[in-house]
Structure 1
């Protein structure tokens, strides 16, 4: 089976956020952004489609991803009309913005991204219904419930997940976002790729499941970390050997990580469209 035959049916979720360990690793936030861009670029070039839970912060990862999608679409085959990314906005994220702003963003991304607002329970909220709602400040409970519901929706909409970076404090919800998304993948037996070379929550998860030994930057347990003790490297279900998964969890070299991720996805094979 060719790369195209496999990847044109792949819907891959990307989970990324800033890592607190970048300075200790001799890296900058720019390295993390470059890593995300390279992973996305390779997947798009092979015909895969991406799933992302965005927050629309200026100069954030969402903006980077949208710029990448736009460039890819300009260079892509004109006969391919599929949107490159499905971007989910959790209730507490989009309800803080005006409907006018949301519609403007959706119009700007039309053809490149499916821009989907979600209700508090994670179901899709059509734009005409969202238009009737005034923007407001969500409560802490709405942040927790809305983000968790969005992550469940992402799980159902994707066939594999790549995680990198991730903070372990100052998060909204019951546990860090990267941790919740990775935990859902474990529980749902979804192929999961832990790119731990940038430290953060992803590296902690790799250590907790026994994939890597603790390092000098190891932290005290954060909320939800013990839940990963129920899993091992075998539960990553991602087509890679234990040695390959350890290499992926350790390397800060994006080219090596991309090679391993693509190898695993090829071995897993095409996943049906949800």
Structure 2
């Protein structure tokens, strides 16, 4: 690097990932400006104050035949996204997936790397847990504790409408239709509160079956975010729930997987869950879901996310992780700028 300086070169472009402040400060001390294709030191506090929700989960391995994207692509996206958001001082808001080698662990490992390099005390990851997930086995409790230095855990309480029907102090397995209903209510409560506490939401993948809520989790989170007028970023090329939603938004045939008939056919016990939930007016209304999705105005969706319509459509279509991250950062940068101006106007 000193050789470059002697030759009069003061800028050096590194490959990804982002260069964290500790290393960049060393470069600046010798008069070098270091950056990567997606990051520069001037962006270290770009997203400071922004709380970014992340909705991401696995898609079936069979999705490769349709989307031509390997299973590992979603994990790579989670890691790279966390790295870029944390490097810009954003707070990540995430719910669930308390598994070793799950998406939470991918995100937390990036937070650990950032903290060790910056020697910082700030915690920029929040993991929101619905009851009874935070009452799970001791192995997971110990695993959570190992990340306490970088993760703040928010344990959500039981909704009032079912609080008297369960033992709040013990784990409840989703092994009966009634128990599944309790789980669905608690997951909805957690999602409502965590999304309400965030400024924007990034969505990718999502199970279409094999979930424990009232509907596919990523689908519910997107619908809540839309209802609360939160900016959302949709990566459709990765398949899953988000892939089907993007098809609907782009005017293609409405996906069967987002209909009640398909969900009842592909999820054991879902008929019973819907019947119980319907008696409390807490069921998944797939007709309302369709009405919401097919009537979304993409230009408004893009503007809310801080992007031009053309860029937002590209975000829904591109399978390239780096391009997705570039577009997301571009939108969040515009949102952050608007938020700062609003705060200054109010002060």
Query: Which TM class, normalised by the smaller chain length?
Result: 0.7 to 0.9
Match of 2:329 in 1: 262
Give a deviation string over 1:107-162, Cα, whole Å, max 9, x none.
Answer: 3222201012211239xxxxxxxxx9233325111111011011011112211100
Equivalent position to 1:242, from 309, 320, 326? 309
Structure 1 equivalent of residue 154 of structure 2: 116
Could you report, residue by residue, the CA deviation over 1:166-189 in whole angstroms, capped at 9, with x for unpaired residues? 122222222211111111111111
Larger Rg: 2
Structure 2 unaligned spans of 5+:
1-41, 161-167, 261-285
Alignment partners' CA distance in 2, 1:18 and 1:102: 20
Is it true that 1:134 corresponds to 2:198 in the alignment?
no
Give the one of 288, 294, 302 matched to 1:229. Answer: 294
User: Scaled by the length of structure 2, what TM-score is found?
Assistant: 0.68
Q: Confirm or deny: 8 A CA contact 2:183 2:212 kept in the other structure.
A: yes
Alignment of 1:165-204 (within 5 A): 165-204=205-244
Gaps of 5+ in 1: 123-131
Q: Distance in 1 between matches of 2:149 and 2:239?
A: 35
TM-score for both structures, normalised by structure 1: 0.84
Q: CA deviation at 1:103?
A: 4.8
SS of 2:72's equivalent in the other structure is helix
The equivalent residue for 1:52 is: 94
The root-mean-square deviation of aligned C-alpha atoms, in Å, is 2.4
The alpha carbon displacement at 1:241 in A equals 1.2
The verdict on how the C-alpha distance between 1:63 and 1:247 changes in structure 2, with shifts beyond 3 A counting, is: same
The size of the alignment, in residue pairs, is: 256
Distance in 2, Cα, partners of 1:102 & 1:27: 30
Higher relative contact order (CA 8 A, sep 6+): 1
Q: How far apart in 2 are the matches of 1:44 and 1:188?
A: 25
Per the TM alignment, residue 232 of structure 1 is displaced from its structure 2 partner at its CA by: 2.0
- Contact 2:247 / 2:253 at 8 angstroms: preserved in 1? yes
Q: Using a 3 Å threshold, how does the CA distance of structure 1 residues 148 and 172 change in structure 2: closer, same or farther?
A: same
SS of 1:167's equivalent? coil
Pair 1:64–1:231, CA change in 2 (3 A): same
Q: Is the 8 A contact 2:98 2:140 kept in 1?
A: no
Instruction: Select the structure that is richer in helix.
Output: 2
